[in-house]
Amino acid sequence: MKLHAISAALCALAAAAAPLCTQAASPDFVSAMPAKVWNTLSGDAPIVIGHRGASGYRPEHTLEGYALAIAQGANYIEPDLVMTKDGELIARHEPLLARVDLNSDGSIKMVGGAPVLNRTDSSTNVWQPAKYADRLTVKTVDGVKTAGWFAEDFTAAEIRNDIRAQERLRDLRLGNNAYNNQFVIPTLQEVINLAKAKTLETGRVIGIYPETKHPSYFKNFTDANGLQRMEDKLIATLHANYGNDHNAPVFIQSFEVHNLEYINGKTDIKIIQLLNGSGNPFDDGRSYAELASAAGLDSIKTYADGVGSNTNLMISLVGGKLGAPTQLIANAHQRGLAVHGWTFRAENVFLPNEFDSSADPAAYGDLTGQIKAFVDLGMDGLFTDQPDLGVAAVAALSAVPEPQTYALMLGGLVGVLSLARRQKRAS
């Protein structure tokens, strides 16, 4: 654009802004201020995803936790999906309903004649009823020997009648233990029903963000037992509720690759490739770091609509603090891929060190500060255990300049251009 055209445009803006300086306190003025311009792929504010519900405040993957996430303003709720013995999809973080520790030789660790409960990966009370003691077993999941009570060894009816949720991080989120043994383990359909009911109740579209957990493991299970494949069951359920619609308020996610390619051939619903901070997908020889590269993203865009990235792939940690940003978000956006980051948790133990509030691992630190670092890069959405804080952070970051600042900024720009014009005439 020619210099005089730029100057004219800015002069016009300044003329419009001048009377606004006297209207700074006017509510009408504030409401008329331009909305925040986001550097997300869509240009909209980042979405907030209730990670396993509002898992900072209620036991994860419960209808009560999902409902609280919605009440706190989450745009989406996330059910991780595993299968029961009779092929029902239920919401659990792992096939294990409760996990026990192993000895170095792979045997179950026992103390006082009882198995030692894993304190960070047991999300139900299945370890307590004597009637299910004989279902404790050792299995290999994705090449890793693991022990506990597995969802696929229980019918949906047994889980509904006898099993209740417990706080998984029972030694960190002590307050959540007050809700132990109260909430049922929901099915996928019940999560969908909740999202739809809350959409009508609130007038906000509440989406769901299901994850297929260990799909290769469960394909072996369904093949061996003559059951419908996990992905087919998921697609059929989603199509029955939302249609085969790319615009449905649904994202399907997985850490594996080939099951997402399979899903892509069956549905138009949006797909997200999850990227861990280390390792590789169980069903693919490439590392997650390779998948996060430009070449990896070229591959992902052939079957997915975005990536769900570990925060370390967007900004690396150096000495426990945020380091230099990577090109992941920029490269993904260049390929039309959204980027949703995980997981944003308020407790100090999970935050980069510069956002800690104290040495207390359970105390809340500056979650907003961490979120801002990633939103500034253009992150399109965030998974958080505390949806209220995630929503508040996005709202805080959406603030536009104060009215006085806005007018002064325009006036300053016009001044610079006027000086340039005078210098041009003088030459």
CA distance 257 to 275: 10
- Cβ–Cβ under 8 Å, residues 84 and 152: yes
Please state, rounded to an integer, the average pLDDT across all residues of the chain. 89
In this prediction, residue 36 has a pLDDT band, given cuts at 50, 70 and 90, of: confident
Report pLDDT for 112: 95
- 3-state SS, 170-206, equals CCCCHHHHHHCCCCCCCEHHHHHHHHHHHHHHHCCCC
The model carries a pTM of: 0.87
Distance linking the first and last C-alpha atoms of the chain? 21
Any idea which of 46-50, 53-57, 396-400 has the lowest mean pLDDT? 396-400
Residues of the chain above pLDDT 90, percent = 85
Gap between the Cα atoms of 188 and 89, Å rounded: 6
Q: What are the boundaries of each domain within the chain?
A: 3-34+402-426, 47-397
Beta-carbon contacts of 148 under 8 Å, excluding residues fewer than 6 positions away, are 96, 97, 98, 99, 100, 118, 122, 127, 136, 137
Q: DSSP states of 331-344 as a string? A: HHHHTT-EEEEEEE
Give the tens place of pLDDT for each residue, 95-151: 999 999 999 999 999 999 999 999 999 999 999 999 999 999 999 999 999 999 999
CATH of domain 47-397: 3.20.20.190
- CA 335 vs. chain centroid, Å, equals 21
pLDDT at 147: 98
What are 196-247's pLDDT values in tens digits? Answer: 999 999 999 999 999 999 999 999 999 999 999 999 999 999 999 999 999 9
Structure tokens at 176: 């959540």
